[in-house]
Structure 1
């Protein structure tokens, strides 16, 4: 059963646009990790509540998602994202 993973990163107000663009590039670079069926990174068009970066992914299954979370590249980028944003996650099986 496929595993859907959606993250909304709310970028801190004091973060420069250059750093947001870098973060989007870093997140986009994860698309080639094993087990990913689809990978989309985008900036939200609606910025009424601040700058939001959307990560929308589908993995082959929950095991593939677990492997993704423990992958060193993901862990490095997640740590970087933690310095510039807060986030909310929505996961489900599909």
Structure 2
């Protein structure tokens, strides 16, 4: 399994409807082949501002690489560059 976690720190001037639209676009990325688990949520902790959490699991690193190179991912990533800064973490994990 391959894990992919992203924390998007939404810029302060972004409106709530823009955040909602971004969340829906991010959720749509979880329908791709090779995605075995996909969660997109707005963090309930707002001490550091609005943070969108992306937590995904892929069948393997190859599935992740295909997903990452896809047109849908590139389009959503481009949108997110306009409204947020982010940190991501990616790693291989073995099933429990």
Aligned match of 1:62: 61
Q: Equivalences for 1:23-62 in 2 at 5 Å? A: 23-62=22-61
Gaps of 5+ in 2: none
- Tell me the C-alpha RMSD between the 2 structures: 0.5
Superposition deviation, residue 40 in structure 1:
0.3
TM-score (norm 2): 0.95
The answer to whether 1:80 aligns with 2:82 is no
Gaps of 5+ in 1: none
Aligned match of 1:21: 20
TM-score (norm 1): 0.97
Superposition deviation, residue 31 in structure 1:
1.4
| Aligned mates of 2:68, 2:30 — CA distance in 1 | 13
Please state whether the residue corresponding to 2:22 is helix, strand or coil.
helix
| Aligned mates of 1:74, 1:21 — CA distance in 2 | 17
Runs of 4+ in 1 over 2 A off after TM superposition: none
Aligned match of 1:92: 91
How many residue pairs align between the two structures?
93
Please state whether the residue corresponding to 1:39 is helix, strand or coil.
strand
